[in-house]
Amino acid sequence: MKDERVGRLPKLASVRVRAAFAAALAAALCFGGGALWLRHVIYTSRMAASMETAQMQARGIAATYDTSEARASADIGALAKKQLEQGWGALGAGMQFPYYTESYAVVDGNGKLLLAQDRLAYYVRESGLAFPSEPPEMTEGWTGQIRVFLQPALSGERGHKLDGREVTLAARNIGDTGRETATVYVLATPLPAENAVNAVDRWLFPGLPAAVLLVAVVAWWAAGRALRPVERMRAELARITAADMSRRVPQPHTGDEIARLAVTMNETLDRLADAAERQRRFVADAAHELRSPLAGLRNTVEVAIAHGDAVDLDTLDATTERLQRLTDDLLLLARLEPTAPASGKAIDMAAVAEELVGERGYRVPPDERFVVVAGEPALVLGREDELARLLGNLLDNASRYARDRITVTVAKPEPGIVRVEVRDDGPGIQAAERERIFERFARVDEARDRGHGGAGLGLAIARDIAVRHGGTLFAADSTGGATLVAEFPEHLGPGEVFLTGPAG
């Protein structure tokens, strides 16, 4: 039944949309991070240039101020106070310096203003800007720096971009002026750095969303082209039913993951079709094999009822036994169907062979054709009942066709391998039939009828058990009679290892 949830999934859940969204998100993070990094680099580099310029100007002003002409120019403090009251643009405008910077100030060692110009003069006059009473520590290039907050004008006048902002002032101490040491402060304005960043922003703000959108569109288109073969495979799979498993998905010739997926899907469909065919054959053969003993059992009972005769107990017992054996075999095949390996304990296959052969000597009549050839213990990890069933089936198969002798050999032909070999002196098996005898309900000739050869499940069950225990079962070449060989990995005890080289 089709899952109705698939039809209710929103379109946003499609792979193309999710791929486009993921690509857009990644592009937004990458481009956004790159844009922030670019703005930071531009701003910091321009601010560093502004600070370097301010330091250079502070050194120049300090050198010019520290001259006899400058010191003789007058009472700087009184001049500054007078000009401040008159509202001049430059406090101490009579002082002519070779560095014409727009914003600087000179204060004495007590923080008293001696000279100011332009923006610093404005903030001293309009908002009461004050300077520290002690000069800052001079470090890089004999200069220092301080951070000051530029309050807006007390009169409420607006218009300066630096109002309400914290800025950096480059500082330089002036040499011996005849008074206490004075300090020059030069404004390192952030406005050039901000203007440079604003110029970049005019391109980033519209360009970043456009780039993200372009990446999303390209990812959506590329995902659609990549998933087009997947959609064709899905449509083809939807047409495959249990009644018709001959169809296969198209395989693109791109050699990529989708092509390998198509190959894997077709291989899986081949295995499913083969399994379905084997299941159909198995069900048909099982029904056919069960019909015969059931029909015989029913016929015996009906004859006895119709004619009032006594039931032939021997026939009834044989038929019932055959029916039970066939049912047991079918149930065992169903249980062995999973391919999961069997687990269990260490089983000595030599001891199992001795025990099974010994049991046949006590049957009525006893079967004394069997000979066991086994040396040291041969341990196999697995389930004892399944391994005994495997060997028992091989012995049953040999006993049907052997004339005088059946040899059971348990050996370790090489490190890590346990081999169980059952050889008889019967008619043997033709090379062309050596693989088919392990198929279910297989009979290689007319001599192996239901009465003589069984239902054809014994060797199939034996091979399934061998495979479950990590081994193999095959018909080997033989000069006379048939030779069936089962090989298993040897179980080693704790601390045991294989020695592949000569002993030293």
Considering only residues 213 and 449, tell me which one the structure prediction assigns the higher pLDDT. 213
pLDDT tens sequence across 123-165: 888 888 889 888 888 886 688 889 999 988 887 777 578 888 9
Do the strands 406-411 and 472-476 form a parallel or antiparallel pair, or are they unpaired? unpaired
Q: How far does the chain reach from its first CA to its final CA, in angstroms? A: 68
Q: Which residues of 205-239 are buried (b: 16+ CB within 10 A; e: fewer)?
A: eeebeebbeebbeebbeebeebbebeeebeebeee
Cβ-Cβ contacts under 8 Å for 469 (sequence gap 6 or more)? 341, 342, 380, 381, 382, 386, 387, 488
Distance CA 323, CA 318 (A): 9
Across 243-265, average pLDDT: 81
Distance CA 430, CA 475 (A): 10
**Residues listed for the chain:** 504
Which strands form 165-173's sheet, in the order they lie side by side? 90-91, 113-117, 103-107, 183-188, 165-173, 144-150
pLDDT at 41: 95
Cβ-Cβ contacts under 8 Å for 199 (sequence gap 6 or more)? none
Residue spans of beta strands (DSSP E) within 174-326: 183-188
Where do the domains of the chain lie? 9-239, 242-335, 343-489
Instruction: Tell me the pLDDT of the chain averaged across its residues.
Output: 78
For 343-489, CATH number?
3.30.565.10
Across 369-385, average pLDDT: 89
Which strands form 406-411's sheet, in the order they lie side by side? 370-374, 406-411, 417-424, 483-489, 472-476
Return contacts of 439-447, CB within 8 angstroms, 24+ apart: 440/278, 440/281, 440/282, 440/285, 440/333, 441/282, 441/285, 441/286, 441/289
Distance CA 372, CA 3 (A): 60
Q: What angle is formed at CA 192 by the lines to CA 199 and CA 41, rounded to 5 degrees? A: 65
Looking at the chain, the whole-number percentage of residues with pLDDT higher than 90 is 24
pLDDT tens sequence across 324-362: 777 777 777 666 655 555 567 899 999 999 999 988 888
Residue 318: beta bridge partners?
none
pLDDT at 176: 52
Would you tell me which CATH number, out of the four given (1.10.287, 1.10.357, 2.60.40, 1.10.260), belongs to the domain 242-335? 1.10.287
Question: What would the two tokens of residue 373 be?
Answer: 């050839």
Q: What angle is formed at CA 173 by the lines to CA 171 and CA 174, rounded to 5 degrees? A: 130
Question: What would the two tokens of residue 178 be?
Answer: 């005849």
Has residue 35 got a pLDDT over 60?
A: yes
Has residue 406 got a pLDDT over 60?
A: yes
Q: At what angle do helices 313-335 and 458-468 cross, to 10 degrees?
A: 30
Cβ atoms of 23 and 215 closer than 8 Å:
yes
Across 465-485, average pLDDT: 89
